[in-house]
Copies of this chain bind each other. A is one copy, B any other.
Amino acid sequence: MGGLTPAAIRAACRAGTWSRPTAGLAPSFAQANLAIVPRDWAYDLLLFCQRNPKPCPLLEVTEPGSPEPVTAAPGADLRTDLPRYRVFRDGELAEEPADIAHLWRDDLVAFLLGCSFTFEHALVRAGIPLRHLAEGRNVAMYRTRVGTQPAGRLHGPLVVSMRPLAAADVARAVQISGRYPAVHGAPVHVGEPAALGIADIRHPDYGDPTEVRAGEVPVFWACGVTPQAVAVAARVPLLITHAPGHMFVTDIPEESLAAS
């Protein structure tokens, strides 16, 4: 699958021949987090994203009822072109289907948000190793005691991802990830987990634990789980997301997201 175009990967998802995580696929194209809500909730979610751009870097918002992301992947269908979905009803996980055609309604609005894969690729290209990738595990994520800016009915804490870096690599990692504001940008916090309210770095709230070794500093980026977590907490009547790691592969070249 590694050599396929984004369109070919989406077609494989649509045909049901690809249903696994998307890490490593079409590596020079941006992948996206998906969150679908009814139009009645779309204003609150859009405003939440505007007020919290680091955890919620919007790549695209569709017109109500349209499943086509006309900018990120013209011709694609967000009802079928991801390998797996999660459906939440009133804040409770209801199903994990392979497509959502049976759930589609004329009032649904899809949000595509930048994904950390893009800045991780840039870090790796610059020679900065990332342990969770080397170990084939999910990144470690934590709920913090840092609040987000609420918007309408949506409010809740910032969720961060953590990557341990050699102290000598921290500054370059800030500069490199900072070039990509559309995929979370520069870290929100460097070192001192306790200042975020993280009591034990060995026990993340989401994903897999990653060891922080002597000489390393835990570096924290705003995480795209944040908007999903606030939508679940607000008990949005219908919320559809990608299944963890099963992202939407866009036609957006990663380098086109570089700010400078």
Given contacts A181-B259, A259-B178, A260-B178, whether A58 and B50 have CB atoms under 8 Å apart is yes
What's the number of copies of this chain in the assembled complex? 2
Q: List residues of chain B with CB within 8 A of the CB of A175.
A: 260
A63 to B181, CA, bound (A): 25
Q: Does A104 contact B (CB under 8 A)?
A: no
In the complex, residue of chain B having the shortest beta-carbon distance to the beta carbon of A259: B259
Most chain B CB within 10 A, of A47, A51, A58, A60, is at A47
Category for how many chain A residues contact B:
20 to 34
| Residue pair B61, A51 in contact (C-beta under 8 Å) | yes
Kindly list chain B residues whose C-beta atoms are within 8 Å of the C-beta of A58: 50
- The interface residues of chain B lying within 8 Å CB-to-CB of A60 are 51
Determine whether A152 belongs to the interface, using a CB cutoff of 8 Å to chain B: yes
Tell me the complex Cα distance, A233–B61, Å: 23
Of B42, B50, B178, B260, which contacts A61 at CB under 8 A?
Answer: B50
Contacts of A252 in B (CB 8 A): none
- Interface assignment of A28: CB less than 8 Å from any CB of chain B: no
Q: Given A181-B181, A259-B181, A259-B259, does the pair A149, B71 have CB atoms closer than 8 Å?
A: yes
Report 13 cross-chain contacts, Cβ distance below 8 Å, ordered by A residue: A43-B46, A46-B46, A46-B47, A47-B61, A50-B58, A51-B60, A51-B71, A63-B152, A178-B259, A178-B260, A179-B260, A181-B181, A259-B260
Q: What is the interface of chain A, defined by CB distance below 8 A to chain B?
A: 42-43, 46-47, 49-51, 58, 60-61, 63, 71, 149, 152, 175, 178-179, 181, 259-260
